[in-house]
Amino acid sequence: MKYLPAALMAALMIFGTACSTSRKGGATAKKAGPAFLLEELAKKRLQPDWFEGKVRIDYSDESQSLSASATIRMKRDSVVWASVRKLGFELARLLVTADSVYVLDRINNEYTVESLDYLATAYGLPAGLLQLQDFILGNPLFFDSKGLQAEPQGKDYHLSGRSPLMETDYWIDAGALLLRRMAFYDIRNEQKVNVGLEEYGQLSGNQNFSYLRNLELDGRHTGKTAVVLKFSSVETDIPKDIRFEIPDRYTRAK
């Protein structure tokens, strides 16, 4: 696994969500077709023009662990910005555009510039800006929605799809029809990503947002990695200031 300073690791790993805990009560899933479930997920999809949220990050892998807080801001179809802090000091700042990822390492006075493909190959994360924004909002990620199969599993509906490059699974709560978990296996890169969503609450417009997320990665690039995210102070459709400048004294990380 490629080594990254803790600040950069935290900045990159804020874009995730993992296995949800078991739930008490709730409706038992009955038979439903994939078209019905896809339509329900589409109705609940978040699409704000602007987004801002505070998030508590707890990160661990096979060699290190860290905790920090972050502010995430997004402009729809345009940019993702994040500032990662600990004890009031900024550790890292991150900017994602349509084709690139920029990271400022405040600890070492360095910066990193990578293509979006880097996120996919190094961390098994979505490589497109729109997919990344959906990932943060908790929207389902569909690499190919054709040929999905649906079956009831206890209190969930299970949607699954298989292709030569990707295996995908989705678990949807039978009562509220909210997305509870996603799992992806990138066959080419041998990367497993397990995505879950918990503690739903309502935003403006009666839209549901998952305030508790976890992310589990397991693969030859990442090893076993886990991230827990706890969102708070979420605002949508309010324009935000997005600033990202690379100081002259910073050197590009090798």
Residues 205-251 pLDDT 10s:
789 999 999 999 898 777 899 999 999 999 999 999 999 999 999 99
Question: What pLDDT, on a 0 to 100 scale, did the predictor assign at position 22?
Answer: 40
pLDDT at 128: 81
Q: Considering the chain, what is the average pLDDT of its residues?
A: 85
**Residue 25 pLDDT exceeds 80:** no
For each of the domains in the chain, give its residue range(s) and CATH number, in order of start.
Answer: 6-17+26-235 (2.50.20.10)
pLDDT of 119 higher than 80 = no
Residue 90 pLDDT more than 80? yes
- Residue corresponding to tokens 């935000």: 240
Q: Which helix (H) or strand (E) holds 39?
A: helix 34-43
Strand, coil or helix: what is 231?
strand
Tell the residue number behind the tokens 């602007």, with chain if given.
50
| Pick from 142, 159, 138, 160: nearest CA to 215 | 138
Task: Quickly tell me which residue has 């009831």 as its tokens.
Answer: 152
Torsion of CA 71, 60, 183, 127, to 10 degrees: 50
Q: Is the pLDDT of residue 5 over 50?
A: no
Confidence category of residue 16, pLDDT binned at 50, 70, 90:
very low
Encode pLDDT of 30-42 as tens digits: 788 999 999 999 9
The pLDDT of residue 57 is 92
Residue 120, pLDDT > 70, answer no
Predicted local confidence at residue 129, as pLDDT: 87
What's residue 147's pLDDT?
84
The reported pLDDT for the residue numbered 32 is: 83
Compute the distance between CA of residue 110 and CA of residue 253 in angstroms, rounded to an integer.
6
In contact, 95 and 79? CB cutoff 8 Å: yes
The bridge status of strand 110-115 relative to strand 251-252 is parallel
pTM for the structure as a whole: 0.84
Give the C-alpha distances (Å, rounded to integers) separating 68 from 19, 31, 132.
21, 43, 21
pLDDT for 10 beyond 60: no
Grade residue 21 by pLDDT with cuts at 50, 70 and 90.
very low
Burial of 77 (0-12, 13-18, 19+ CB in 10 A): exposed
CA distance linking residue 232 with residue 185, whole number of Å: 30
Contact of 72 with 95, CB cutoff 8 Å: no
pLDDT of res. 3: 35
pLDDT at 208: 94
The predicted pLDDT at position 171 comes to 96
Non-local (6+) Cβ contacts of 11 within 8 A are: 70, 82, 84, 91, 92, 93, 94, 103
pLDDT at 121: 63
Residue 59 token pair = 């990160």
- Mean pLDDT is lowest, of 75-79, 151-155, 237-241, for 151-155
Three-class DSSP labels, 152-195: EECCEEEEEEECCCEEEEEEEECCCCCEEEEEEEECCCCEEEEE
Cα angle 229-61-90, degrees, rounded to a multiple of 5: 55
pLDDT digits (tens, 9 = 90+) for 176-218: 999 999 999 988 878 898 989 999 999 987 899 999 999 998 9
Q: For every residue of 63-126, which 3-state class applies, written as one string?
A: CCEEEEEEEEEEECCCEEEEEEEECCEEEEEEEECCCEEEEEECCCCEEEEEECHHHHHHHCCC
